[in-house]
Homo-oligomer: A and B are copies of this chain.
Amino acid sequence: MSLLVVGSIAFDSIETPGGSVEEALGGSATYFSYAASFFAQPRLVGVVGRDFPAEHRRVFESRRIDLTGLVTQDGQTFRWKGRYHRDMNTRDTLELHLNVFGTFEPKLPPAYQDSTHVFLANGSPVLQGRVLDQIKSPKLVMADTMDFWIETQRDELMVLLPRLDGLLLNDSEARLLTELDNLVQAGEAIRRMGPKFVIIKKGEDGAMLFSHDGVFVVPAYPTPDVVDPTGAGDSFAGGVLGYLESDDSPPPGRLRRGMAFGTVVASLTVEDFGLARLQRTSRSEIDARLEQYRAMLSF
Q: Would you list which residues of chain A between 148 and 189 have a CB under 8 Å from chain B? A: 181-185, 188
Residue of B nearest to A292 (CB): B214
Residues of B within 8 A of A184 (CB): 222-224
Does any Cβ of B come within 8 Å of A206's Cβ? yes
Residues of B within 8 A of A226 (CB): 182
- Shortest Cβ gap from A233 to chain B (Å): 17
How many monomers of this chain does the complex have? 2
Mostly, the A contact residues are mixed
**Bound CA span A127–B182, Å:** 38
Decide if A224 touches B181 in the complex (CB within 8 Å): no
Instruction: For A299, give its contact among B183, B185, B253, B296 (CB under 8 Å).
Output: B253
Q: Would you list which residues of chain A between 192 and 238 have a CB under 8 Å from chain B? A: 202, 204-206, 208, 214-220, 222-224, 226
Residues of B within 8 A of A257 (CB): 299
Q: Would you list which residues of chain A between 245 and 299 have a CB under 8 Å from chain B? A: 253, 256-257, 259-260, 294, 296-299
Q: Which residues of A line the B interface, CB within 8 A? A: 17, 86-88, 181-185, 188, 202, 204-206, 208, 214-220, 222-224, 226, 253, 256-257, 259-260, 294, 296-299
Knowing that A188-B224, A217-B297, A260-B299 touch, tell me 9 more A-B residue pairs with CB under 8 angstroms: A17-B181, A86-B181, A183-B204, A184-B223, A185-B224, A202-B205, A216-B296, A256-B298, A257-B299
